[in-house]
Amino acid sequence: LFLGIAKIAAPLGMAGGFLLGIVNALLVGSTLRLIEQSLSASRTLGFKDVTESFGHYFWDVIGVGFVLWLPTLLLDMGLQANPAYGQFLLSAFLLLVFILLNPAPEVIYQVRHDSTLEVFKTSYEFVMEHWVEWFLPFVLLILPVVLSPSGLQEFFSLSGRAGRGAGLDFLQILMLPLTAIGGWLSYLGLDSEGQV
C-alpha cells in the first residue's frame, strides 16, 4: 500500500509529499495499535483487527513528525550554505535524533501522554536511564558498517535517513517484530535488564 501510494504521490511534488506523510502516519499508527493489541490481549490478530486499527495514533504520529520536520527543514536550509561540512553536520544531528528518540513508537502506545513534547521527553528519559542497554547493541550493530570500505560515508547516509523519521517511518516499522519480542519478554516477567 505504502509503496503504491509513493508511486502515485511522486509526480505530485509537495502535495504528494503531504499525501505520503498522511499515509505513512496512518500505517504507522495502525501498526502501533496492532502491536499494542497483540501484547495486551495475548491473542492472534485477525483481519478485523487490521481494519479497526486504522486511525489509531494518527495524530500522535503526525505530531511527532511535524515537531521533527520543522527544525530539520530549517537546519537543512541553513547548512546548505556550508557544502563542505553541512551534510556531515546534518547527518550527525539526525543520528543523535534517531538514537535519543528511537523509543518514540513504543512511548506512543505504551505511555499515555498529553502532548508530543511529552513523547520526546519520555523517550529521552528512557534512553538516558538505560543508556548501556541502548547504546551497546547499537554500537555492535553499526560497527561492521563503520569498519567497511565505504565506512563513515555509509554510516552517515543511514543515520540521516533513520533520523528524519525518528523511528516513525513505515519502512522502519518493519523492524518492530523485535519490539514485540521485547514486549513478550516483559510480559513473561523479564524486565529491560533481563532480570526476573
Tell whether the model's pLDDT for residue 175 goes beyond 50: no
CA dist., res. 151 & res. 81, Å (int): 26
SS3 192: coil
Hey, how many other C-beta atoms are within 10 angstroms of the C-beta on 30?
23
Tell whether the model's pLDDT for residue 66 goes beyond 50: yes
> What is the reported pLDDT for 125?
92
- % of the chain exceeding 90 in pLDDT: 4
Length of the chain: 196
What is the per-residue pLDDT across 75-97, written as a single tens digit (0 to 9) for each?
A: 878 777 777 777 777 777 777 88
What is the per-residue pLDDT across 112-168, written as a single tens digit (0 to 9) for each?
A: 788 888 998 998 999 889 888 877 877 776 666 566 555 555 555 555 545 455 445
Does the predicted TM-score (pTM) go above 0.85? no
DSSP-assigned letters across all residues of 23-58: HHHHHHHHHHHHHHHHHHH-S---HHHHHHHTTTTH
